[in-house]
Each structure stands twice: as C-alpha cells, then as structure tokens.
Chains A and B, each alone.
Chain A
Amino acid sequence: MIRGVIVMNDRGKPRLVKFYEFQPAEKQQELIRSIYRVLCSRAENVSNFVKVDSLFGPDVRLVYKTYATLYFVFIFDSSENELAMLDLMQVFVEALDKCFSNVCEIDVVFNFNKVHTILDEFILGGQVLETNSSEVVKTVEEISKFFLPPQLCVCLISFRYSYGYDLLFYAGSRGLQIQSWAVHQFLAGSGDSIFIALVTSFITILC
C-alpha cells in the first residue's frame, strides 16, 4: 500500500502532505525533514528509488522525481511496484498539468485543496484507484462545476465587459466552452436587466 504522498520544493518546504496512516503533526514534520535530507544527498542521474526503512519500518521505499522546483515523493511498501509508482507519479503530474495548464509551484500551493482533490481521485486509502489522467481531470472538472456554476461564468464575463476585470480564468479549462455559451446568452439578453439578475445570482452563489 502507499504510505504517503509528499510534494515539497527544493528548499524543503512542504507543498502537499498526505499520509494514508495518520501521523501526528510533529512526526510529519520530522519525516518531511528526514526525507528532504535524504533527497538532498542524492546525486544527479541516479535511480529514483530510496530505501527508507529507517524512517517507516521494514521494506518501505520511496520514489521521488523532480519537476521544476518541486520534489514529488511517493512512499510505499513492498506490495507496490517501484517503476509503476514512478509512472503513477507521472500521471499525477500530467493531471495537475491539465488542470492548471502548465502547472508550477505556486499553483500547487495556492490551490492545494484542488491538488488534494486530484490526488484523492488517484489514490484512496493508500490504494491506487485510477491511473488515467484524463479520467481524473474529467471528474475534477465535474466537481469544479459545483465550484463554478454556469451563471457565475456569465457574471464573470459581464464583469469583463462592464468593468474591465478579466475573471475568466476562474473557469479553468472549461472556460472556453462556457464562455461561448455565456456570451451567447449575454448578447441575446436585453442588457441591463439580465445583467442585474446575473449579478444577483453571482452574489447568492458566492455567499
């Protein structure tokens, strides 16, 4: 089973920490520090695997990989395959990339509840649940729909037209579809009255 997933930057700051067996906060910090120490001491162009039985108990290993400034670390035991874990990590990063279009460290930090949502689609209770990044992106978008109902999109567009705020990136990767739909709606409607209605709904949804 997978014991934990950690994303941290190259200075040892945790960006995403998820242990599938509960670890108290102090223990978590200690583990993160020790893992960071291990990763720092690794030379370049060596294997992506490290045995961490001294930290986690017998036969536990970790797979790590650096993407730009971030270390992605999967910790798991002998019931998983090292190379497959490496690929799962790749899939995870792909999914992040699709969700944030060109993911970077700030995306991971700033949207870390979304990153958690993505991770939860891949791994549940320490077991791999899904291995297809587009499936995961689809599900996450479906969840995001609740975060961003179509009316809200329209409101955002209205804002853009009326006030010059570009709020479209809220819509994420679904933005374009909704945009065309919303623009249609907006232009078909009779200006102010619809706009006021939309703004009202915007406020109700947000608050």
Chain B
Amino acid sequence: MDQLKMIGRELAMGSQGGFGQSKEFLDLIKSIGETRSKAEEDRIVLREIETLKTRLGNPNTPKFKLKEYLVRLLYVEMLGHDASFGYIYAVKMTHDENLLFKRTGYLAVTLFLNEDHDLIILIVNTIQKDLRSDNYLVVCAALNAACRLINEETIPAVLPQVVELLGHHKEAVRKKAVMALYRFHQRAPGSVSHLVSNFRKRLCDNDPGVMGATLCPLFDLITIDVNSYKDLVISFVNILKQVAERRLPRSYDYRHMPAPFIQIKLLKILGLLGNGDKKASEHMYTIVGDIMRKFDSTSNIGNAVLYECICCVSSIHPNPKLLETAADAISKFLKSDSHNLRYLGIDALGRLTKINPEIAEQHQLAVIDCLEDLDDTLKRKTFELLYKMTKSSNVEVIVNCMVDYMININDNHFKTEIASRCVELAEQFAPSNQWFIQTMNKVFEHAGDLVNAKVAHNLMRLIAEGFGEDDNIVDSQLRSSAVESYTRIIGEPILPSAFLQVICWVLGEYGTADGKYSASYISGKLCDVAEALSTDEIVKAYAVTALGKIYSFEIAAGRKVNLLPECESLIEELLASHSTDLQQRAYELRALIGLDAHVVANLMPMDASCEDIEIDKGLSFLDGYIQQAIENGAQPYVSESERLGMSNISNFKSQEQHEFLTHSLRFEAYELPKPSMTPQVPPVLASPTELFPVSVPYYHTEVNYSTTPVPSISSAGSSELQLRLDGVQKKWGHPSYFSPTSSTLNSDAAKIQNGSTKPDSVGSANSEARHVSYDSRKPQVEISPEKQKLAASLFGGASKSDRRQSSSSQKVPKNNSHAAYKSHVEKTATSDTGAQKTSQPPSDLLDLGETTGTSILPSLDPFKQLEGVLDQTQDPTSLNTGGFSGTDAPDIMSLYVDTSLRDQGNSTANLLSTVNDSSSLLSGFSDATNRTGHGGNTVAQLTQKLSEGPNHKDSLEKDATVRQMGVTPSGQNPNLFKDLLG
C-alpha cells in the first residue's frame, strides 16, 4: 500500500492530460522557464541529460518511467541539446506491445532520426509487423512512422502492406495509407511508379475524407505531368460541384462552408489542368462561377475559397465573365481592413494583370495604400505586383520606389532581390541614359556587393555599346554623363567593390574621351581609389589597368605623359606586390609608357572594348613562308590525326565538334585549369617584351587585334594568363583550346567572338525602351494630393481616364462605388485639361479609347445583346456603363444557363436512369485511360450532366429517385458517394 500511495502521489502532482508525466518533468520545465540566461539553462539541461543517461541505462526502470524519460529526452533535444545517446531506447520502445509505449517510441524515433539513420533498419521490422496488426490504431501509428522513416532502400519491405491497407475497412487507415504511398512516391518515384494508378482509384473512395486526402498526391502528380491526367478533369469538376452543393455529410462543413479545404485543393488542381487548355477550361467555368457567386465573405475560409477561385480563373483559359467576377472579388479584398485579405488581393491582382493589365488601374489607390503600409509582407507583395506591371511609362516611379525601399531595409536576401529587379527593369525600360546611369549608381551604391557580378559587367557593356543604336552622339553623351557622375561619386568614403570596379573601368575607358577632364585628373582619382582600398586586389587591378589605358590614350594622341607622383609610387608598390596579377599589370603599365605612339595606338585603340577580335586561326599569313620552305625542300606538314591513322577524324575542328556532341569517354589529358581570376579581373595587357612567344600572332599585321578590358574569358585573356604549355599540349592536349600561336592547323579562319559581344535580345529591348516618349504621362499636380499623383504616375490612370472620357462621350459616367475616385479624376481632368485634349490629334485618342473600352470584354457579344434588352427595361440613369457590373451578372448567367438547359432537356431523363443503374461511373473514369473505348461514352454522358448547371429542380428529382432506391444521403452509406459521382 505504501508503494501504491507513492505512485499515486507522484501521479497526482504531475499531469493534467492523460499521458501521465511526473513531477520531475514539471520541475524541469519550471526551472528552465525561470532561467534568466542561456548558460543557466544549459547547466540545467546538461544535468538533466546526465540524469536521463543513468536512468535510461538502468535495466530495472519500469516501462512507464522509461516512456516519461523519453519524452523528457525529446524535450531536451527540442531545446537544442544533443540526445543521441537515447535514440536506441526510443527504437527499443517501438517494439513494445502496449500501444501507449509503442506510440511514444514511434514519436521519439520520428523526431530523432532522419530517414538515412543507421537505426532505421531496426525499426523496419517493427513497422512491418505493426502494419499487419488487428488494432487499427497500431496500424495508424506504424503508417505515421513509415511516412517519416522509410527510405528508398526500405520501401520494398513495407510497400506490399501499405498497398494492402489502401483497402482497409477503416477510413482513417486508408487515408494514412494513401499518404504513406504518396510519401514513398515523393522519396523514390521509381519504386512506386507502378502503383500511381492507386491514387486514381482512391479518388472514388466511399469516404470523402479519403477522397480529399487523395487530392494531395494527385495535385503533385498533376504538377509534374499535366497531360496524363486530363481525363480526370470532368471527375474533378463533378466532385467540386457535389461538394459545393453540400452533398457531403454535415461533418465536413467548416464555418458553414461545405468542405472548404477540399474545395481549395480541387480548385488548385483544376487551375493546373485548365492552364492553357481551352477545352478543359470550358468544363470548369460554370462551377467556378457558381462558387464565386455563392461565397461567404464573412468568414476567413470563405475568402480563402474565393481567393483560390481567382487563382484558378487566372490560370485557366480566360473567360471574360469569370475574369470580371474575379476583378470584383479582388476589389472587395483590397477594400478590406484586414491585412490578410489585402495581401491576397494584391497577390490575386498580380495574377490577373498578366491576363488583363487594365485591372490594376482600377485599384491604384489601394495599391498605393499597401505600398505605404507598415506591414512588410504586404509591402513586398506590392513590390512584386509593381514589378509585374512595370511598363516604359511608369518605370521611373516604380524603380524609384523600389530603390528608396531598398535603401531602408536590412534584410540582405530581400535587398538583393529588389536590387536585381531594379537593374532588370532599368535595363528593360530605361527612358533615358541619364536616368539609367543615375539609377544604376544608386543601386550599386547601396547594394553593390549584393547584386550578381554579371550585373556589373552588363552595366560596363551597356556603357560601352550604348543602347544598341548607331547614334554615336547619344552614346558619347551616355558615356560622358557616366564619367561625370562617377568622378563625383568616387570621392565617397565607402563604396561597394563591384561599383568601384565599374567606375574604374569606365573612367579608364572613357575618362578622357570627351576632353572634359584631363588625364592627370582622372589618373589622380584612380590612384586614390587604388590606395584607399589596399586590401581589395580586384579593384586595384581594375584601377591599374584603367591607368594604363588613360596613359596609352595620351601617348597615342601624341601628348607628353607625366606620371603623377602618387601614380609612380603606386606602380612601385605594385611591382613588389604579392599578387602576381597586380605585379604583371604594373610591369605592363611601365612597359606601355615607354613605347612609341604608333605601337600604343595599336595596342590600346580608343573605345574598342566591344569590337570583335578577329583571329586568323588558319594562320594564313604564314602561307607564303611555308610555300617558300616547301620549295626549299622541307617536309609538308602531316596533321596529327593522319599521323595516327585516325582517318575518320579529318581535322581538329571536326574532332572538337565531335567531342562536343557525344559526351563520350575522353582519353586525352585533363583540361588546363581555367585561371581563377578571369571572371573578375580584367585581362592583362599584352606586353611585347615579356610575353613575346605567346603573343606572336597579335603582333602580326594581318591580325586585327584589340584588347578587351571587359572581364570575360576571352581567348586572348586566358591565353595570356596561362603558363606556356605549347610543347606539352602538342603531345596530349587539344590544340584548339590554346592560344592561336600553337594552332598550326589548316582549318579556315574562324572568327572568335569576344565574350563581351552583346546578346541581341537585350540590345533590341533597349532600343525599344529608348523609343519611349514621356508624352503618355501627364502630371496632375495641381488637382490631386500627393497620393493620387503617385497613383497616376504609377498606373497612368489619370491620363488614361481622360482619354476614355473623350472617346466614350455617349456613355453615362460611371457611378459605381469603386470607380468613384476615377470619375472624380475624370471630371477634374476634363475641366482642367480640356485645352490640352483638343490640341492632340483626335484619331490617336479614339484609338486609345477604344482599346481601353473593349479590351476588358473582348468576346462578349451575346451578353452585350442581352444587356441591351435588360437596359431598356430599367431606368437608364441607374445603370453602370457597359456590362461590367456585378449586379447584372447573375441574371445574365442564369439566362444563359436556362437556355442551355432547355436545349438539353431531353437528355435529363436519360441521365436520371443512368444515375440509378450505373454502379460506379467514376471508377470507370479512373480507368478511362486503360479502356479508351468506354471512356469515350462516359465522358459524353458526364459532359451532359455537367451542363445541367445548378438546376435545383433536377437535383431534387435526382434526390427523390435516390431515396426511392432506399438510399438516404448520409455519410454512413458506403454507396452514396458512388451514386453521387455516377
């Protein structure tokens, strides 16, 4: 009795739930909760670990105690301490017969171990055994563990049982078996690929819960491969319809919504299936429209379903009617006070603007509000939206907003993202060079080290090439404005390295080009940079090369060069640098200054960074010499392949191609390592004295050579940075990998494109951007407050609305609530800018106006006619313009549905009979891929059913027949779901 008393007391003091923990655990939690420092907590936990170690190791510990210790061990590990010594006890506990202990054991192993842990092999057997258990709770526990722990190797061990469990009589087990199978599929698609059809089968499970669980794997499978599941579109639509019509048991309702989670999953799936597929999408229009109309805006989950509908609508083949409803829903979201809904609204707006860019304009103020909101998430989402809707007309405002925001945030990840987006937008839509350079300066100044190095190179290239036009004046303006801004910025104390690289390069290339700045001024600046950043070798290298360019331009121009004293000292310092790269550059710079004007002009031509280097690969200039030698009795050259008897490979060129095409085994020696600094460091200048043997061809007059200071792995650059390996390479290597010196081939002269040549697409995009004029944006400063101004510049809304006004003079002014602002602007705009309007060419205005008027509903002619009928019966003043209003929509829709129903009135009778006698139509569907012949028929029948629409009379009739058959619609009836689907 005493012992009993003790146990009782211990239990009484501890737990509150049914899972019995002791007072010790409570004390532990309390003491950890009361700690003031991390060190104190660590001390307590370490003491606890010691206790657990001794107690777990004690073979006499009773099981229920062992269980508690495991829980405590889990707790300790959750706090971040190592508990690996106890893993084995967790594994042991899974072997226990008692469910209580078994579950605890499984819980512990699922939390402790990853699927590749060595101990897993000890659990597989237990899981196998438990999957065969009579007690379904044990089976569930085993399935839980299987989901987490079974890896690719052990899948075959449990797979047969899991598949068997798909037909278990308990729906909870079936659900979990589906999930386990799905997990196996995720982990090792190959090992269960033959079982994927099981998911289709489970879709017509009697229990809606199992069906709902099956949607998860199907969603993933459809994401991977849409086309093989197109046949399920109608089944999904049917299920969704039944769910939406509350045919599921009451227990699936949540907040008065019929099974909203299942609806959401189905809508997601439909969105995937209907994407870009007109035929599939047509099946969905009715039901999605129905759901959107019936939605319940008061509950969270109702809005979730609505949001999912919008996503679905924006994903499937566009339907004007649905898009319009979606736009209405979005405006509701955006007007809401809840940040969550506004977030979703912005997100949905981003989706819809892809289809119809006009929609965003209706919500300009709401978007601006979100941009100024305190909520960071909302802000980011809004920036995402702005990024999506950037056009040449609003790029300045948007990019400025983004840059301002970027400056103020600390999160590097997001800063990088925004910076690269700014760069992208600026490159794509830049209205002027000036603006472009300024924007880039700002971006680089604040996020220079975060953006991709490629971006910096792009910028250099852009400055060198201009925007791809042949207009040299514009290009040189761009350059001089860049130089000007850089000479100003270079004085700033802290600049990111990437930005300094750009600055050095630009100053070196174009610093003295327009004659505004003297060479000594620029070189002074460059020396300052090189000295200020004693640790950054890359920037130093850029600066030295830039100095070299400045001086060689001076020499080429025939001016006397006086090295600045600080420049002298810089060179001196670098000659002794630890970096061989810097050293070489310094020597080259030295040598360059000593050369005469003609040589320097050839070495360092002005503004030739983007010219292609032509390399005479065939070395045709040697032909005469060879001819002479042969005439003098020399042996003609026999190519290597001929010497080796490899007749199938006629020359090295084809060998090279051959190798590119077939990635077969390569038997030749390893490739030479690429010089690691080439991507970042501009290539070293070729200096004749030091690198004589390698750079022979460059010296020859027939080779059109120009240096490429743009950092890229150009052939010239890499060859110069390499060791001289001519001899070696003749034995093993690929001759064509090396510098042209060694290529003694007789292949045709090939033109090696410099790495810095521009991609065409960018160039053309830029040229487009430059055509953009400012005319489309008209400031509305005097009439609007600050916000409206921003909105107008963002969306071009104000200017657009006055255009619309002028074109649609016969239309009644809008007076529905969400257009209130717009109409206000319209009125003021018409009164204020009337003079301007008349001065513009009228044809232009009409064109623009018409596009805005019709593009919202491009293909709605039948509806428009209906509207006309409706309009006449009502008071014209209370009408909204066009057919865009939400109030008219249901009427028209129902009319439409009615007519379509009347057409198919005959078929309904047949359908009723099919409902009665077909046992499982849906399972027929799931097999439709196998039995295509039958599939055709069923599809036809079901399409008819689909077009029934929300006709209550029909559904009541159907219900009645079902009841006559002795079936009451409830969750308990196993056949119900089949009937509903069939």
Q: Using a CB–CB distance below 8 Å, which chain A residues touch chain B? A: 1, 13-14, 16-18, 22, 24-26, 28-29, 42-43, 45-51, 53-54, 79, 81-84, 86-88, 90-91, 99-100, 106-107, 109-114, 116-117, 120, 124-125, 127-132, 134-135, 139, 142-144, 146-148, 159, 163, 165-167, 169-172, 199, 202-203, 206-207
Q: List chain A residues, Cβ under 8 A from B365.
A: none
Give the residue of B4, B21, B186, B340 whose beta carbon is less than 8 angstroms from that of A83: B340
**Chain B min CB distance to A130 (Å):** 7
With A46-B374, A81-B304, A83-B304 known as contacts, the answer to whether A132 contacts B252 (CB < 8 A) is yes
Q: Is B209 an interface residue (CB 8 A)?
A: yes
Task: With CB as the reference atom, state the residue of chain B lying closest to A30.
Answer: B80
CA distance A132 to B514 in the complex (A): 75
Between A and B, 27 residue pairs with Cβ closer than 8 Å are: A46-B376, A51-B381, A79-B219, A79-B268, A81-B304, A82-B343, A83-B303, A84-B304, A86-B340, A87-B300, A87-B304, A88-B261, A99-B17, A107-B17, A110-B16, A112-B74, A120-B144, A124-B147, A125-B148, A125-B186, A130-B209, A147-B19, A147-B100, A167-B8, A167-B12, A170-B20, A203-B7
Of the listed stretches B107-115, B795-803, B812-820, B932-940, name the one at the interface; the rest are far from the partner chain: B107-115
**Chain B min CB distance to A5 (Å):** 12
A contact patch SS: helix
Interface string of B178-209 (1 = CB under 8 A from A): 01101100100000000000000000000001
Does the CB pair A46–B252 fall under 8 Å? no
Q: Is B375 an interface residue (CB 8 A)?
A: yes
**Chain A min CB distance to B414 (Å):** 7
CA distance A100 to B19 in the complex (A): 11
**Chain B min CB distance to A126 (Å):** 8
With A111-B21, A131-B261 known as contacts, the answer to whether A22 contacts B15 (CB < 8 A) is no
Q: Is B78 an interface residue (CB 8 A)?
A: yes
Task: Name, among B182, B307, B377, the residue most crowded by chain A CB atoms within 10 Å (CB to CB).
Answer: B377
Does the CB pair B301–A87 fall under 8 Å? yes
Q: Is B450 an interface residue (CB 8 A)?
A: no
- Which 3 residue pairs are nearest across A and B when measured between Cβ atoms? A54-B413, A83-B304, A47-B339
Does the CB pair A110–B25 fall under 8 Å? yes
With A125-B147, A125-B148, A128-B216 known as contacts, the answer to whether A169 contacts B16 (CB < 8 A) is yes
Does the CB pair B18–A144 fall under 8 Å? yes
Q: List chain A residues, Cβ under 8 A from B147.
A: 124-125
Q: Using a CB–CB distance below 8 Å, which chain B residues touch chain A? A: 4-5, 7-9, 11-12, 14-21, 25-26, 29, 32-33, 62-64, 71, 74-75, 77-80, 82, 98-100, 103-104, 107, 111, 114-115, 137, 143-144, 147-148, 172, 175-176, 179-180, 182-183, 186, 209, 213, 216-217, 219-220, 223, 251-252, 254-255, 260-261, 264, 268, 300-301, 303-304, 307-308, 338-340, 342-344, 373-378, 380-381, 411-414
Q: List chain B residues, Cβ under 8 A from A25.
A: 77, 80, 82
Q: List chain A residues, Cβ under 8 A from B378.
A: 46-47
Give the residue of A26, A46, A139, A171 whose beta carbon is less than 8 angstroms from that of B18: A171
Extra A-B contacts (10), CB below 8 Å, given A25-B77, A42-B376, A113-B103: A46-B378, A47-B339, A49-B340, A84-B308, A87-B254, A87-B260, A110-B29, A147-B19, A170-B20, A203-B4
Task: With CB as the reference atom, state the residue of chain A lying closest to B254.
Answer: A131
B contact patch SS: helix
**Chain B min CB distance to A105 (Å):** 9
With A132-B254, A167-B11 known as contacts, the answer to whether A81 contacts B307 (CB < 8 A) is yes
Q: List chain A residues, Cβ under 8 A from B268.
A: 79, 81
Q: List chain A residues, Cβ under 8 A from B183.
A: 125
CA distance A111 to B15 in the complex (A): 8
Does the CB pair B219–A106 fall under 8 Å? no
Does the CB pair B111–A51 fall under 8 Å? no
Task: With CB as the reference atom, state the residue of chain A lying closest to B146.
Answer: A125
Does the CB pair A46–B71 fall under 8 Å? no
With A47-B375, A107-B16, A132-B254 known as contacts, the answer to whether A82 contacts B344 (CB < 8 A) is yes
Does the CB pair A79–B15 fall under 8 Å? no
Q: List chain A residues, Cβ under 8 A from B74.
A: 112-113
With A87-B304, A110-B29, A117-B107 known as contacts, the answer to whether A172 contacts B18 (CB < 8 A) is yes
Does the CB pair A113–B137 fall under 8 Å? no
**Chain B min CB distance to A29 (Å):** 4
Q: List chain B residues, Cβ under 8 A from A43.
A: 374-375
With A22-B114, A81-B264, A125-B183 known as contacts, the answer to whether A165 contacts B8 (CB < 8 A) is yes
**Chain A min CB distance to B169 (Å):** 16
With A47-B375, A207-B64 known as contacts, the answer to whether A110 contacts B304 (CB < 8 A) is no
With A14-B78, A84-B264, A111-B21 known as contacts, the answer to whether A45 contacts B339 (CB < 8 A) is yes
Q: List chain B residues, Cβ under 8 A from A172.
A: 17-18
